[in-house]
Amino acid sequence: MDFAREPLLDQQKEAELKSKMEPLWNQVPRLSGMEIARALKFGIPGTPFELLKPCYVYFYRQKFNLPLRAKARFKKGSTTLPNHRYKNTPEELKLMSPETFVAKLNEMLPRNEFSEAQRVFLIILYSTPLRESEIFERVQNMPLGEGKIRNDFEILSDKIMIHLLRKKKKYHQKNDEPISIRRDFPLVNEAVEYLESKSWEKTFTGEPNTVAKRDTYGFQIRSHGKDQLELNHRPFPISKTCADNWVKSVFEGFYCHYFRFAFITSATQIPNIKVSELRAKTYLTLGALERYVFTPEKAEADLDDKRANEYRKQGVID
């Protein structure tokens, strides 16, 4: 018995795809993979490429030997990453004040029904020490059977409680480690409104094992079972790439993980904070705290002011 997979496209369709995809891939200004997939109508029934998913753009880029459009992260012959994966280090970007965050968010992404998911994702990212995946993998109103429902975002009168497990496997934690955001912090009540309105369920609805659903871009969702059910109940049904793009489209030069650095650094600057309180606030070990904290210019200036006051008390300076 032959178990070889049949190709998704026959030779004629594949040649047609190459002729249409190559000019789109080389177009200037550059199109994203998602924009190319939309232009070629990947996943749309009744089109030549209805069997293809958007991510297949990169598979066919390699198969058609189209040029790479980004520098490789690894040097030739090396298996180690450079010291910094980002163009700008956290130190270079410096701390972002709440006032700056709110002003930039409102300027670049005004609040409306089309921007609410992106705005709320950025608000939660700024207000917590969570990784981007620890936010977009959370589910809400997901049935577990026997009348039980999973709500990772618990809305309380004074705060949002986010229930999750540690992302890194080395911690080996199996218990819920909730983290909270006070509702009187900047824009947090906007997140409450979004989570309670269920507007995010407009596109991702239905029961599991149904393949006729479509996502925001009109592509068929072909995952099944538990994964499909979970996707339907994610307030932020996005990928890591999309999360990065959401950040860069509003905060040019910034990236998701910067906000984790910034939150942890800000926590260390709270006056008279104890080590136990710092660990409870950031959910990090002391070793991890040391790696995550950076010292922006403001912190250096504050430290210099404190030293100057001590010198004055001691009569070292006037």
What's the N-to-C CA distance of the chain in angstroms?
Answer: 91
Q: What is the pLDDT of residue 14?
A: 93
Q: Which two tokens stand for residue 111?
A: 């609040």
- Residue 150 half-sphere exposure, CB side, CA atoms within 13 Å? 17
Whole-angstrom distance, CA of residue 97 vs CA of residue 211: 44
Task: Report the SS3 class of residue 255.
Answer: coil
Please state the separation of Cα 140 from the chain's center in Å. Answer: 17
Q: What is the pLDDT of residue 216?
A: 42
- Phi and psi, residue 181, nearest 5°: -125, 125
Q: Do residues 164 and 138 touch, judged by C-beta distance below 8 A?
A: yes
Whole-angstrom distance, CA of residue 177 vs CA of residue 255: 25
Please state the separation of Cα 90 from the chain's center in Å. Answer: 17
Query: Which residue in 56, 198, 62, 188 sits closest to 120, CA to CA?
Result: 188
β 148-150/153-155 pair status: unpaired
Q: DSSP secondary structure string, 221-233?
A: P---HHHHHHHHT
Along the 318 residues of the chain, how does pLDDT read in single tens digits?
A: 444 567 788 899 999 999 999 999 999 888 888 889 999 999 888 899 988 988 899 889 989 999 887 666 566 666 665 555 667 788 788 889 999 999 999 999 999 888 899 999 999 999 999 999 999 989 898 888 788 888 999 999 999 999 987 666 555 556 777 888 999 999 999 999 999 987 777 544 444 333 344 444 444 444 434 456 677 788 998 888 899 999 999 999 999 999 999 998 888 888 888 888 888 777 777 777 777 887 655 555 666 777 788 878 877 776
Q: What is the pLDDT of residue 301?
A: 63
pTM over 0.75: no
β-bridge mates for residue 162, sequence order: 153, 179
Q: Which two tokens stand for residue 93?
A: 């970007």
Whole-angstrom distance, CA of residue 311 vs CA of residue 318: 8
The angle at the Cα of 130, spanning 208 to 103, to the nearest 5 degrees, equals 105
Query: Which residue in 78, 61, 73, 75 sits closest to 17, CA to CA?
Result: 61
Whole-angstrom distance, CA of residue 239 vs CA of residue 219: 15
Q: What is the pLDDT of residue 213?
A: 43
Q: Do residues 132 and 227 touch, judged by C-beta distance below 8 A?
A: no
Q: Which two tokens stand for residue 162?
A: 């986010």
Query: Which residue in 27, 22, 23 sits closest to 61, CA to CA?
Result: 22
Q: What is the pLDDT of residue 165?
A: 72
Q: What is the pLDDT of residue 204?
A: 43
Q: What is the pLDDT of residue 82?
A: 57
Q: Which residues of 102-118 are buried (b: 16+ CB within 10 A; e: fewer)?
A: eebbeeebeeeeeebbb
- Phi and psi, residue 153, nearest 5°: -105, 105
Q: Which two tokens stand for residue 231?
A: 């996707």
Q: How many residues does the chain have?
A: 318
Q: Do residues 35 and 28 touch, judged by C-beta distance below 8 A?
A: no
